[in-house]
Amino acid sequence: MVNFIFGIHNHQPLGNFGWVFESAYDRSYSPFMETLEEYPNMKVAAHYSGPLLEWLSDNRPEHIDLLRSLVKKGQLEIVVAGFYEPVLAAIPKEDRIEQINMLKDFAKKIGYEAKGVWLTERVWQPELVKSLRAAGIEYVIVDDYHFMSAGLAKEELYWPYYTEDGGEVIAVFPIDEKLRYLIPFRPVEKTLEYLHSLDDGDESKVAVFHDDGEKFGVWPGTYEWVYEKGWLREFFDRVSSDERINLMLYSEYLSKFKPRGLVYLPIASYFEMSEWSLPAKQAKLFVEFIEELKRENKFEKYRVFVRGGIWKNFFFKYPESNYMHKRMLMVSKAVRDNPEARQFVLKAQCNDAYWHGVFGGVYLPHLRRALWENIIRANSFVSTGNFVRDIDFDGRDEVFIEDENFYAVFKPVYGGALFEFSSKRKAVNYNDVIARRWEHYHEVPEAATPEEDDGEGVASIHELGKQIPEEIRRELAYDSHLRAILQDHFIEPETTLDEYRLNRYLELGDFISGAYDFSLFENGLTLERDGTVSGKPAKVEKTFHLTDDGFVVDYTVRSDAKALFGVELNLAVHSVMEEPAEFEAESFEVDDPYGIGKVRIELDKKARVWKYPIKTLSQSESGWDFIQQGVSYTVLFPVDGELRFRLRFKELL
């Protein structure tokens, strides 16, 4: 007989659309638990994230009642995490403990004293032991890949182990990767055969499956397979009645058996994450390396030594994510003694919008917008004032300016541009725009879709190959710089809008990412740079100051080169789908009712204006997402020796 622990992880990110919650509930969470209720001998360990529990409490309270009933019957074990599903390794220890205790308190309300943690994205680092123990946690669930990365062989991974840090000890259960790919994608018989193969007479041996609940109905093709074709009922029926399988919960196992011994796990997550977290060029090489090992039939033998990146690499890979994360950390420290403000900080720690794998993550504007809203609301409880320091830890100082209504953060060394302009009244960051990047999965081989396992079951989203549609490929462009407000361009007068928006034009100056000198005053600053345009000396000076309803910036540009001077404003327009356009105006309005709201750009002289949507291509569980990350507005003037103009940004409430 072999022991078997079956677990699910149910999560919807903060800021996700209500219809997504509702669809996931109807297609997965509800039918799964209702089916479980029909099989009293079946046991499940379940983790529900805080954002999902809040939605269920407000919209489907009967589901909470069902969970309470299943706990009472002994069919359900509640496994917790940080309430708002943070990657625990990426937040301060004080916040980790509070996040875990919040979810433990919720578990108590449905009748369960939780002692175990589902580790978000299974991101492990050794010093988590102390935080978990401080929160009263006795066991944690990670992948078998973590153990293999520590040097253990696969045959040693059918038991939990202890791990230790600083004298604190916790039990660690390994999730079986083979089960993750069998359940629920292959016929039930395949899982039973595998579990039976593990039965060698050792009564302490345990196989653990614990994975996304969304695989049971939300992922493509799974609702029909799991429910309509009866996979889940057959699975529950056969597993719970099989005399060679002993269904257990984590707590039951630990009450009967001791962990096998002591291990020390390295910083790790699941195997796929080690690919996704690498910079794109390295991720491509990583995939090529794995495919080469597979062709030579060496991968399974040597995979224990194949390691890619770690989760925190995403802060290197996506500077926009890094800046958002470091702003969250800055605010967390500033409001640590303010319970009301801390609730907003904890929400801003929800993991999804900080990274990207097979789901949209950082590329989904509505998820980033939710984090920014909570960062800004938390920040508004304290006055940070004006300061100069390295906020995002890139080794270069930012200039932070605050008044009653706005936060403005400049990067003088990066074009003297405005990289955050946040409204306290609207709780939005007008520059929440991510740059267009090449990702390694943009290069899809012709034979990208593997054959399903003898045609049986349904393909996992990890197995789905995807060809980029031609209509997307025609519009695909990659940026050579980050997106900000008040970025200074010098371009050839003959340049067209299409050349500009598709990044097929020539930048004549060195001002976009060049360093500006600056001097700070009470509610603004002056930035200036002596650079070159087409090899000739040029100078740009811009004086910025906050106003009650936005900001004003006065420009002086000096250059003898024949060029157009453009000031680009990248605004986080997410709910109105824009098309490229060219027009002349002294003022124009931007109206994004479900995003940044309404603003007006005013000039003191007529300018040519180029606007176009900034669209990124990312993969998702449903295929390709070609997403509008914002809209670029560039005001253009001919340079003739000296150019002076004023630009005003007005927030319209």
Tokens representing residue 128 in the block = 């988590």
Q: What is the chain's alpha carbon radius of gyration, rounded to the nearest angstrom? A: 27
Decide: helix, strand or coil at residue 352.
helix
Decide: helix, strand or coil at residue 295.
helix
Kindly report the backbone phi and psi dihedral angles of residue 267, in degrees, each rounded to the nearest multiple of 5, phi listed first: -60, 125
Composition of the chain by helix, strand, coil, percent to 5:
35, 30, 35
Chain position carrying tokens 């614990």 = 210
Cα-based distances in Å from 260 to 49, 137, 156: 30, 19, 9
Active site residue 199: no
Q: 309: how many CB neighbours lie within 10 A of its CB? A: 20
Alpha-carbon gap, residue 212 to 7, rounded angstroms: 9
Catalytic residue among 164, 212, 528, 549: 212
Catalytic residue among 77, 95, 98, 121: 121
Decide: helix, strand or coil at residue 52.
helix
Cα-based distances in Å from 190 to 9, 17, 193, 249: 22, 36, 5, 22
Q: 59: how many CB neighbours lie within 10 A of its CB? A: 12
Chain position carrying tokens 């495919």 = 291
Active site residue 212: yes
Q: How many helices (H) and strands (E) does the chain have?
A: 21, 24
Alpha-carbon gap, residue 392 to 377, rounded angstroms: 19
Distance linking the first and last C-alpha atoms of the chain: 67
Cα-based distances in Å from 308 to 273, 303, 442: 8, 11, 19
Helical packing angle, 319-334 and 339-347, nearest 10°: 160
Catalytic sites, residue numbers: 121, 212
